Amino acid sequence: MLIDISSGSVAGAYAHYKNGEAPSILYTRRMPIEIREGEQHEKAMLRALEILGNALIREGAPVLARATDSGHADTILVSVDAPWQETKVRTEYFERKMPFTFTKRMVATALEKTSVTAEGKILADESIIGTILNGYETREPYGKKAHRASIILLTSFIDEKISESIAESLRKLFHTKNILSIAGSSVRYQAMRTVFPHERDALILDAIGQLISIVLVRKGLLVAVAEVSDAIGVNIDSWVTEVINEFTKLAKEHPLPRTIFLLAQEKDILLLEKALNSAGLAGLWLSDNPPKIVPVKAGHISGSIKQVTTAPPDLPLLLMALYWQHREK
């Protein structure tokens, strides 16, 4: 089961996985978070989550049972967006005078010693998104010899009270004990690497949730992550200004790639693309030619995910399904 929690809505899906086959999305449902007068955002979100959960049981479970002979999900993956999440990137280094064998045990021991904490938040996920041995990116590093190595980690922090409330709500609704949480921006970045494996240099502008998240990828490795409050609720000009400010900060430290992947809700994506194209971004690239903006839509993923349900494709849920298929076991 996939659960997507953003600032304005909650969504759920049943995804079926078979070895050697593309995942199947059997059922999806998205519901708005409606905040009553004087009500806290968190309370409204949890109420919407309960309504969504009942729909997954009443409508979705029979669909799952017809497809798999079981109406029970083995795992619930929960993606949480701002204002309840935070994503950070860090690098851990390994170096010896003599050549050493790079192992999973070595990495696990190092991560235990260097575990990062944040007040009032829990570390929901810590994903290795890049490994460099002797100065070269290596896709299958374990068991290989090296003098020096480094790993790039993407960590997801989620508000502790919110995480506990979400898990409690889901445990009441479902009998699945295996509930895993991760920050939405982390899920989407990792899924994007699967969707566009040959784009080694790119900016990923994630405007799906309340937070603007910008990821800089160079030579296939995540170099920087920037997160700022989403200003689109004010007006589109403020949103563009925020984005340009973050691009400007990144450009002071790194050459900017010429491809920008834009992630946004389907109702917003064309408006945001048009606004960016009209913003005169070419100056940041010290060029007369503006960068190429690629609006990411469900069609980019249709070859990797089977959409069995007749409901309209939901991009965040599709990216979640893809992330789960390719996550590091």
Max Cα–Cα distance, the chain, nearest Å: 65
Determine the pLDDT at residue 144. Answer: 94
φ, ψ for residue 137, nearest 5 deg: -65, 135
Cα separation, 13 vs 164, whole angstroms: 21
Determine the pLDDT at residue 231. Answer: 52
Per the DSSP assignment, residues forming a β-bridge with 259 are: 292
Q: Which residues contact 293 (CB under 8 A, 6 or more apart)?
A: 260, 262, 273, 276, 277
3-state secondary structure labels for all residues of 31-75: EECCCCCCCCHHHHHHHHHHHHHHHHHHHHHHHHHHHHCCCCCCC
What is the set of domains in the chain, with CATH numbers?
2-83+160-184+300-326 (3.30.420.40), 85-158 (3.30.1490.110), 196-296 (3.30.420.40)
Determine the pLDDT at residue 66. Answer: 93
* Helix runs in 69-218, H state only: 104-113, 160-173, 184-195
Kind of pairing between the strands at 259-263 and 202-206: parallel
| DSSP state, residue 232 | T
Task: Provide the whole-model pTM.
Answer: 0.86
Which amino acid would we find at residue 327? Answer: R
Give residue-wise pLDDT tens across range 211-232: 788 889 888 888 888 877 655 5
Determine the pLDDT at residue 24. Answer: 94
Determine the pLDDT at residue 171. Answer: 93
Full DSSP string of 111-132: HHHT---BTTEEEEEEEEEEEE
Determine the pLDDT at residue 235. Answer: 78
In this structure, what token pair is assigned to residue 256?
């900017």
Cα separation, 102 vs 7, whole angstroms: 41
Smallest CA-to-CA distance from 81 within 164, 185, 153, 2 is with 185
Smallest CA-to-CA distance from 190 within 181, 179, 182 is with 182
Which residues in 88-115 are b (16+ Cβ under 10 Å) and which e? bbeeeebeeeeebebeeeebeeeeeeee
User: In the chain, which residues have pLDDT < 50?
Assistant: none
Determine the pLDDT at residue 38. Answer: 92
Full DSSP string of 282-303: GGGGTSSSPPEEEE--GGGTTT
Cα separation, 302 vs 143, whole angstroms: 35
Which amino acid would we find at residue 100? Answer: F
Enclosing H/E stretch for 320 = helix 315-326
